[in-house]
Chains A and B, each alone.
Chain A
């Protein structure tokens, strides 16, 4: 039986970030990934590196991760398409605009610089937004990446340092052993589950699949300059019961525009749901009317891994499992891309008994024990 210091199950952006971080420590790392590498949520997602303030714990983790992305940026290959384009949170009405100074002050407490934009400044920054929007908040240090290429880079780094990749599906992962569908069994001191919404390996994890739709256009360089998100987005992302859409648009390095976003519970198939797609695109066209004539090339869906409290599970699985070898890095909802570097650092700090850069208590999987039987909402 092949033996490792650590086995990472799942090679999305989080699993590959963890593999790289462990390989950098000089550990013997194995990565188990069935199907296409980074082919699930990492492939489906937008690739927005964004500081989010849904809760203080979320703000702390996203701010920490954003700082790590800035360090990474210089090393990323060109294919990662890193762009420090910044985010503009768009205010449509007075109710939205009330949030802006509060958000500005809150971000400042976490060391994140933001600029409040007037209606005129917003129109100047993004001429294709509809007239009559009343302002916004620019977060200059946010960015965008092409996630599959970043995951591929993380894995290449890990393998360069000796990590081994097993292209197989894990059928069980517990007590220091990972069984593969090929019949092979691998052993390790620690096992990390970085399996996104596919949490069959630890059924005690209360993770739900939260479906999203996206559409991409042909190339229109300069049409949109920042990632644009409506301030109502947090309301959309926050609700745990209702299907919702929000204006969220991203300028890709190619000049293509990636248009989101939608959130659905209880919808388990990957098919495009025309009604959700329509609502999502209507919302986008409402904010940016001239989108309506741009050529759309493709639509697709993906599944976010959502926990009941909307925070990820990073750390030992104790409390959910009596298995001391089992660790978790999953449940990132829509923030897996942003939080991958931070989660990898925090996990390794916990494994090596180092002091973490931020307080990890809010992310400890054990908190889920109390929530397992809790109703959603």
Chain B
């Protein structure tokens, strides 16, 4: 049942950052395994992305380029592995689900790179649980997987650079995007847009989205306050929007609403890595507070695709005891971009009053905002109302409660990080012998081309 697999470097997460890290580490001659819980590599951003050559260009899509290089590097990619437990002593346990069965695999490592990405932040508002209401990234992923949106009228709302990208994607899939509503005010977005002059690629991308979206209204400084169900079908038929002074109704078939991203830091916390604010604390070489454990991409800060890839490369090199000054300088620049993002898309205080007394905040356990408000903090509320005790383990309602009520969830991660069959917890580790940990402490500068 249980298998034991060893590597020099184990990478958890095969998004852009994880792929970059695994590729570089393998190119340095290390034995590398990269795990992902999805069927396909690529993470959220490259998930189900068609990488067919564009007829007007012979250039391959960056995802395909990255994957080609990963496969050439000799790193071993293993998908459908859900890592539910890990220890800084040098192992991670994953549930491997196949069509017919599931079994537990133990991965022993010398060094570990966490590339666990981020998830969408949802803020509860009346009607957010209606059929027809999706996350922004959620609807994009569903559409890529074949969910039909052609002919649908869709409002895309919330906050973050993803709104325009997803709206453009939905239009390309045949939908009519009626509105793109960004909660951030123009006053905050303008300096962000201006800062993009230093990142021409991003600006061009933005312009492309706008061209595709000619039919949609793009509004800043407004947000959805309520989703309305049609009386007969109990599915979404319209939304109430506000700009803080005026409220109006817009009909729509689907709503995509997401409030930017929450870093997936659970695995890092289980391993004992220190956090800085909401993010995993890392140094210039992406080293966490635990020797031999690195973290790259969104768990260390939301700084976009380029930064994630560069961090991946830095960590991959660092596993071999190397670094290049050029990469380090470039990633520093990206951190300025991250700060700008954070400022531009900061959640406005009015969103705290989105949920009404009877609005469900914890969907797993049907806990209302009123029920949670009666308590002083997350632990109290969790014990008395069951909020955060369902299958998602507070991954949705935890960040919502943090914003709405100012509650900091306590750092006490325990296995299983994801629901797993009981036998996954009852099966012994395949080998109980202690691995000799050979972590590299020093990092030397190199002029290698990465």
**In the complex, chain B residues whose CB is within 8 Å of the CB of A36:** 377, 379-380, 383
> In chain A between 282 and 298, which residues have their CB closer than 8 angstroms to a CB of chain B?
282, 284-285, 291-298
CA distance A272 to B415 in the complex (A): 8
Segment among A37-45, A108-116, A173-181 that sits at the interface with chain B: A37-45
Please state if B425 and A296 are interface contacts (CB–CB under 8 Å). yes
Task: Give the residue name and chain of the A residue nearest to B87 (CB).
Answer: A274
Query: What is the CB-to-nearest-CB distance from A193 to chain B, in angstroms, rounded to a whole number?
Result: 23
**In the complex, chain A residues whose CB is within 8 Å of the CB of B427:** 278
Please state if A278 and B428 are interface contacts (CB–CB under 8 Å). yes
Most B CB contacts (10 A, CB to CB) among A38, A148, A215, A297 go to A297
**In the complex, chain B residues whose CB is within 8 Å of the CB of A272:** 414-415
| Cβ contacts A263-285/B at 8 Å (1 or 0 each) | 00000001110100110011011
Please state if A215 and B391 are interface contacts (CB–CB under 8 Å). no
Please state if A274 and B416 are interface contacts (CB–CB under 8 Å). no
CA distance A43 to B85 in the complex (A): 24
Task: Give the residue name and chain of the A residue nearest to B383 (CB).
Answer: A148
Q: Tell me which of A43, A215, A296 contacts B383 (CB under 8 A).
A: A43
Task: Give the residue name and chain of the A residue nearest to B419 (CB).
Answer: A295
Please state if A298 and B383 are interface contacts (CB–CB under 8 Å). no
Please state if A299 and B415 are interface contacts (CB–CB under 8 Å). yes
The reply on A149 being an interface residue by CB < 8 A is yes
Please state if A149 and B384 are interface contacts (CB–CB under 8 Å). yes
The reply on A54 being an interface residue by CB < 8 A is no
**In the complex, chain B residues whose CB is within 8 Å of the CB of A215:** 422, 425
Please state if B384 and A295 are interface contacts (CB–CB under 8 Å). no
Please state if B391 and A300 are interface contacts (CB–CB under 8 Å). no
The reply on A67 being an interface residue by CB < 8 A is no
A interface residue count range (under 10 / 10 to 19 / 20 to 34 / 35 or more): 20 to 34
Please state if A294 and B421 are interface contacts (CB–CB under 8 Å). yes
Instruction: Tell whether A281 pairs with B414 under 8 Å between CB atoms, given A36-B377, A39-B379, A292-B421.
Output: no
CA distance A294 to B423 in the complex (A): 8
CA distance A167 to B412 in the complex (A): 22
**In the complex, chain B residues whose CB is within 8 Å of the CB of A298:** 389, 393, 414, 416
CA distance A167 to B379 in the complex (A): 15
**In the complex, chain B residues whose CB is within 8 Å of the CB of A148:** 383-384
Please state if B380 and A296 are interface contacts (CB–CB under 8 Å). no
**In the complex, chain A residues whose CB is within 8 Å of the CB of B422:** 215, 217, 259, 281, 284-285, 291-296
**In the complex, chain A residues whose CB is within 8 Å of the CB of B305:** none
CA distance A167 to B424 in the complex (A): 40
**In the complex, chain B residues whose CB is within 8 Å of the CB of A282:** 426
The reply on A79 being an interface residue by CB < 8 A is yes
Instruction: Tell whether A297 pairs with B391 under 8 Å between CB atoms, given A36-B383, A39-B379, A272-B415.
Output: yes
**In the complex, chain B residues whose CB is within 8 Å of the CB of A293:** 421-423
| Cβ contacts B171-214/A at 8 Å (1 or 0 each) | 00000000000000000000000000000000000000000000
CA distance A291 to B422 in the complex (A): 7
Please state if B415 and A39 are interface contacts (CB–CB under 8 Å). no
Q: Please name 11 further chain A to chain B contacts, defined as beta carbons within 8 Å, in addition to the given A215-B422, A278-B425, A281-B423, sorted by A numbering.
A: A217-B422, A271-B414, A278-B428, A292-B421, A292-B423, A293-B423, A294-B421, A294-B422, A296-B421, A296-B425, A298-B393
12 contacts between A and B (CB under 8 A): A218-B391, A270-B412, A274-B429, A277-B425, A278-B428, A281-B423, A285-B426, A292-B423, A296-B419, A297-B389, A298-B389, A299-B425
